[in-house]
Amino acid sequence: MLAGRDGLSLDGGELFNGDGGRLDSQNSLSVSLGGVLHNQGGALVSEGRLTARAARLDNRGGTFSSAGALALTSQAALDNQGGRLLSDAGVTLKGASSTTAVPA
C-alpha cells in the first residue's frame, strides 16, 4: 500500500499495482504515466478527485474509487473486464476504446 494524507501524485513510465496492491489518498490522487497502468486486482482509492492518465489502462478485476470526480484517460485501450469504476461525483472516460464486461 502507498498512501498520502494531503494527496498523492505519481508520475512515471509504467506502474504495476495488481494482486491486492493499493494506492490510497485522503485527498486527491493523480497518476500520470507514459506507459501502462497495470491495476489487475488492485485498487486506486481517493477521498477527493482521482485522475489517471496512461498509454493504456488495464483495470481487469481492479477498482478505481473516488469520493470526488473520477477522470480516466488512456491513449489506447481501457480494459475494465470485471473491474469497477466508482465515483460519488461523476466519471469521465477518454480513450481510443474501452472494454467492460457486464455480468449476466
Segment 89-95 mean pLDDT: 92
pLDDT at 104: 41
The answer to whether the predicted template modeling score (pTM) of the entire model surpasses 0.75 is yes
pLDDT single digits (tens) 29-68: 999 999 999 999 999 999 999 999 999 999 999 999 999 9
Question: Which three-class secondary structure string do you get for the chain?
Answer: CEEECCCEEEEECCEECCCCCEEEECCCEEEEECCEEECCCCEEEECCCEEEEECEEECCCCEEEECCCEEEEEEEEEECCCCEEEECCCEEEEEEEEECCCCC
